Amino acid sequence: MTVFHFFNCAILTFGPHAVYYSATPLSEYDTIGTSAKAAAVYLGTALVKLVCLATFLKESENGNFDPYQELLKVLINFIDVAGLYFALTQLTHRNISQNHKFQAVGLGWAFADSVLHWLAPLWVGARGLEFTWEYVFQGLEANANLVLNLSLAALGSLMWLRKNKPRILIPIIYACAGVLATMPSITSYLRRALGWQPAKAVGFELFSSLMMAFLSWQLFSACQRPA
Amino acid sequence: MAGRRRGRIGGGVEVLDSIYSVVALVFILVACVELGDAATAVDVYRLIQYDIAGVPYGSRLAGLNHHAGASFFAPGADLSRTVVMMPVRELNLTFLREYIISNQPLGGLLLLLPEKVGNRIVGKIKSKDDGLMRNILVELEQLLIHANIPYPVYFAFEDDKINAVLADVRRNDATGQPPMATTGGYKLLVSIPEPKRVSSPTITNIQGWLPGLKGDGDTNQLPTIAVVASYDTFGAAPALSVGSDSNGSGVVALLEIARLFSRLYSNPKTRGRYNLLFGLTSGGPYNYDGTLKWLRSFDQRLRESIEYAICLNSIGSWKNELWIHVSKPPENAYIKQVHESLSDVANELGVTIGIKHKKINISNPRVAWEHEQFSRLRITAVTLSELSAAPELLESTGGLHDTRDSLDEAAVYRTIRLVAESLAKHIYGHQGRNIQIFADNSSLAINPFYISAWLDLLSRAPRVAPFLSKTDPIISSLKKELSDHTVELHVQHETIDGMFSFYDSTRATLNVYQVASVAFDLLLLLALGAYLILLFSFLVLTTRGLDDLINLFRRPPSRKVKAA
């Protein structure tokens, strides 16, 4: 049952990515190349982030919530946004429509994120005899991350790839993008400073990601109307 | 259009193929399962495993990997795949005896001993509970030692972690669901290599020699008095057999007597005309095998010069009465002399000394007292002990109950006083005189701190002979201490009599895992499957439309028809 549990948690963590790819038209247009390139860009971004964290962040002795350190972490998270920008705009993609480009990039990005974050802990921890809910929660978090990354990619493509946007919506787009970018910091703040239980924190993440996804969808379809 | 579509689907199939191969690789890697961190890890001590003349005794298995249960009576439980955890004080010994004797199956037994509250209890706390626990432990030990148990038996000390686990297991049992592979609960795991026979178990005899004062022109050998104590133990859990009373008390008394006489003998003016021989022998529980081999190693002159020997055995918890055990009849002149000198001092101290005579039966291999080995070689010897009856084989050899708090230091002090004064009076010829040689507050006073320190050390050192290597720290300490007090130290290494053989693996770590049942994971798999299917349908609906979803489930149009 230990290997079984690992298998279950792996399905929960990585399954939705595969399902998303095969369910949407992405599979028809064979956008796996785009996703792979996006995953590679994510790896590069992660490396740059790690170097920055190591250079600029001090190790906190008592594990309390230090606003200055958290601010630094938020700034470093914006490197994520920069990486996404690079993936969306600078790389050469095959001729796929705007619609599918952001989905493919978001999917690749999210998949690389999940693998880097969750594969190693899952492999080491979930195969033991001891049972904890931890890995199921991690899987749910990975799902929420997928949705968040797709929303961020959507808003990113709106910001940088679409030239004619309605004037009123522009600040809203930027605000949503900002919220999405800082979402990891917000969740870590909730977990550590406010001491929320893991179940509560994961619930919040799922809920907020769905909300943001809905918002992004509305914004995207609103921007598509002037054709 | 259809051809292009097929091309797309072909490309998709290739991708799926590569994914399948990756998944297969993952499965191969996953096949090597590791064990993660356990919720609790506890030190456990295994029941001894030994053979006497080929007949097996004790627990014959060491590895443990079963579910935990809390009682023998859980309905529907498969006891052959359960480890029963039970505190010793709640044990029903008659039931356990029946269970073991009738060879009923069991996955394993984990007995929980009362919590170790440090190694000493100051003062004489001998409550009724302590006495009851002591009796239970004695009976339990005798039952387990003399039974042949085909499953692992372990001892552990109760502490918060394991009490929490026990409470949980009891609650699970109470709900009526027996712990099995499909209903979760706790799993107990001890991974330890299979026990192997100890190849040549050694016993180490340590002797110290204090020579007496030879006058000028004195060509004859001076007479010798021997003081002997055996220092090794035997018990149900060899890693816990510290034998504070049997025979740590005897060893400490011997060391203190050696120290006192070494002070007297260091000055030629106070050196007596007797040699003193101090012997710390091993192999006591096995019919005093070590003593026999030690005596056999003596040369004839030494053997003949021994006037008498005093063997000390369990002198740590008596109140008013001590016993001398002899094998020659009490009317014998030498025995009378020894008895009288001891009784004189005893009267001064206000205690009584009784005398018990047990004849030696040469054809019986059982040697109940150490002095019998001397008597078989025609050396006068007595054993001084608080036990009034001769113990059976492997009884009173220092077991689970025999810990530091079962000792009374005042008793050890009194014994040392008794033996030292009577020896000194005999050596210096002051019999019958009212003199106290080792008076309190004199420079020759008996040192209670010395006694206390050595009792503490011995109570922390399990001393079952086959598991003591030649260079074990306790043996080195005893050697060093005796060599400090004597002029000549001699160490003899022998192997235990071939009738006894022992098996190793005496202590291990128990891992307690809280496991989820297979049913839970199956449910989780079903839930995940449903979730993924829902997600898939939702995405197809929103991005491609309902028609596409229905098309997925329709069989693809037959190609033969198309070609035709």
Kindly give the interhelix angle for B249-266 and B473-485, rounded to the nearest 10 degrees: 30
| pLDDT tier at B508, thresholds 50, 70, 90 | very high
Taking the C-alpha atoms of residue A16 and residue A12, their distance in angstroms, rounded to an integer, is 7
**CB atoms A30 and B12 under 8 Å:** yes
pLDDT digits (tens, 9 = 90+) for B37-67: 567 888 999 999 999 998 999 999 999 988 8
A165 close to B (CB below 8 A): no
Distance from the B1 Cα atom to the nearest Cα atom in chain A, whole angstroms:
13
Give the CA-trace dihedral at B226, B229, B231, B233, to 10 degrees: 140
Distances (CA, A) of B98 to B94, B144, B332: 6, 12, 48
Residues B379 and B401 sit within 8 Å (Cβ to Cβ): no
Residue B180's pLDDT band, with cuts at 50, 70 and 90, is low
In this predicted structure, which of A156-170, B79-93, B356-370 has the lowest mean pLDDT?
A: A156-170
**Complex ipTM, two decimals?**
0.83
How many A/B residue pairs have CB atoms within 8 Å? 91
The predicted-structure confidence for A82-95, as pLDDT tens digits, reads as follows 787 777 777 666 66
* Interchain CB distance below 8 Å, B518 and A1: yes
Evaluate if residue A107 carries a pLDDT over 60: yes
Report the percent of chain B where pLDDT is more than 70. Answer: 85
- B45, β-bridge pairs: B155, B507
Q: Measured between alpha carbons, how far is A1 from A8 in angstroms, rounded to an integer?
A: 10
Q: Is B339 helix (H, G, I), strand (E, B) or coil?
A: helix
3 state DSSP class of B228: strand
Question: Does A24 contact B539 at a Cβ distance shorter than 8 Å?
Answer: yes
* Residues of chain B positioned with their CB less than 8 A from the CB of A136: 524
pLDDT band at B121, cuts 50/70/90?
very low
Given this model, what pLDDT does residue B306 score? Answer: 92
For residue B540, which residues of chain A lie inside 8 Å, CB to CB?
23-24
| Choice among A31-40, B38-47, B111-120, B500-509 with the minimum mean pLDDT | B111-120
Helix (H, G, I), strand (E, B) or coil at B443: coil
Query: Which residue has 């004064």 as its token pair?
Result: B421
Question: pLDDT grade, residue B185 (50/70/90)?
Answer: confident
Range B14-29 average pLDDT: 64
Q: How confident is the model at residue B111 (pLDDT cuts 50, 70, 90)?
A: very high
pLDDT digits (tens, 9 = 90+) for B398-435: 888 888 888 889 999 999 999 999 999 899 887 777 77
DSSP string, chain A: -HHHHHHHHHHHHHHHHHHHHHHSTTTTTTTHHHHHHHHHHHHHHHHHHHHHHHHHPPPPSS----HHHHHHHHHHHHHHHHHHHIIIIIS---S--HHHHHHHHHHHHHHHHHIIIIIHHHHHHTTSSS--SHHHHHHHHHHHHHHHHHHHHHHHHHHHT-----TTHHHHHHHHHHHHHHHHHHHHHHHHTS---HHHHHHHHHHHHHHHHHHHHHHHHHHHS--
Sorted by where each begins, the domain ranges of chain B are 37-118+127-197+506-515, 202-495, 523-553
3-state secondary structure A42-84: HHHHHHHHHHHHHHHCCCCCCCCCCHHHHHHHHHHHHHHHHHH
| Out of B30, B525, B543, closest to residue A8 by CB | B525
The class level of CATH for B202-495 reads alpha beta
Instruction: Name every residue in B having a CB less than 8 A away from some CB of A.
Output: 8, 11-12, 15, 19, 30-31, 33-39, 184, 187, 189, 513-518, 521, 524-525, 528, 532, 535-540, 543-544
Q: Could you give the 3-state DSSP secondary structure of residue B157?
A: strand
If you measure CA to CA, which chain B residue comes closest to A126? B36
At residue A63, the pLDDT reads 57
Q: Where are the alpha helices (DSSP H) in B71-159?
A: 93-101, 128-145
User: Over the stretch A138-189, which tens digit does the pLDDT of each residue have?
Assistant: 888 888 888 888 888 888 877 777 666 677 777 887 888 788 878 877 777 7
In this predicted structure, the answer to whether residue B24 has a pLDDT above a threshold of 70 is: no
Q: Is residue B322 very low, low, confident or very high in pLDDT (cuts 50, 70, 90)? A: very high
Q: Which of B532, B541, B546, B551 to mutate to test the interface with A (most CBs of A within 10 A)?
A: B532
Per-residue HEC secondary structure of B243-257 comes to CHHHHHHHHHHHHHH
pLDDT at B35 over 50: no
- Asked if B8 lies within 8 A of A30 by C-beta distance, the reply is yes
- With a cut of 90, say whether residue B7 has pLDDT above it: no
Q: How many residues does chain A have?
A: 227
Stretch B316-335: mean pLDDT: 89
Nearest to B309 by CA among B377, B409, B397, B395: B377
pLDDT tens, residue by residue, B123-145: 344 556 777 888 888 999 999 99
Question: What whole-number distance in Å separates Cα of residue B545 and Cα of residue B556?
Answer: 18
Nearest Cα residue in chain A from B28? A3
**Residue B12 and residue A22: Cβ atoms within 8 Å?**
yes
**In the predicted model, what is the mean pLDDT of residues B14-31?**
62
Provide, as residue numbers in chain A, all residues whose Cβ is less than 8 Å from the Cβ of B35: 128-129
H or E element: which one contains B273? Answer: none
DSSP one-letter string for B50-87? EEETTEEEEE----EEEEEES-TT-TT--GGGEEEEEE
Which element (helix H / strand E) includes B238? none
> What is the per-residue pLDDT across B195-220, written as a single tens digit (0 to 9) for each?
999 988 899 999 999 999 887 666 66
Range name among A127-136, A161-170, B18-27, B196-205 with the lowest pLDDT average:
B18-27
Query: How large is the average pLDDT for residues B348-355?
Result: 90
B47, A62 contact by CB (below 8 A): no
Mean pLDDT rounded to a whole number for chain A: 79
* Planar angle of CA B494, B495, B499, nearest 5 degrees: 140
Contact B539 A20 (CB under 8 A): yes
> pLDDT tier at B314 (50, 70, 90 boundaries)?
very high
Of the partner residues A3, A15, A32, the one whose CB lies closest to the CB of residue B532: A15
Sheet architecture: strand order including B500-502: B148-149, B55-59, B49-52, B500-502
- Chain A residue with minimum CA distance to B514: A130
- Under a CB-based contact definition with an 8 Å cutoff, are residues B143 and B58 in contact? no
- Contact residues on chain A for B537, CB-CB shorter than 8 A: 23
What pLDDT, on the 0 to 100 scale, is given for residue B400? 86
Picking from A12, A19, A150, A218 by the largest number of B CB atoms within 10 A of its own CB, the best residue to mutate is A19
Residue B261: C-alpha distances to residues B202, B342, B491 (Å): 30, 17, 21
Residues of A in contact with B536 (CB under 8 A): 19, 22-23
A8 inside 8 A of chain B by CB? yes
DSSP, res B187: E
- DSSP letter (8 states) at residue B208: E
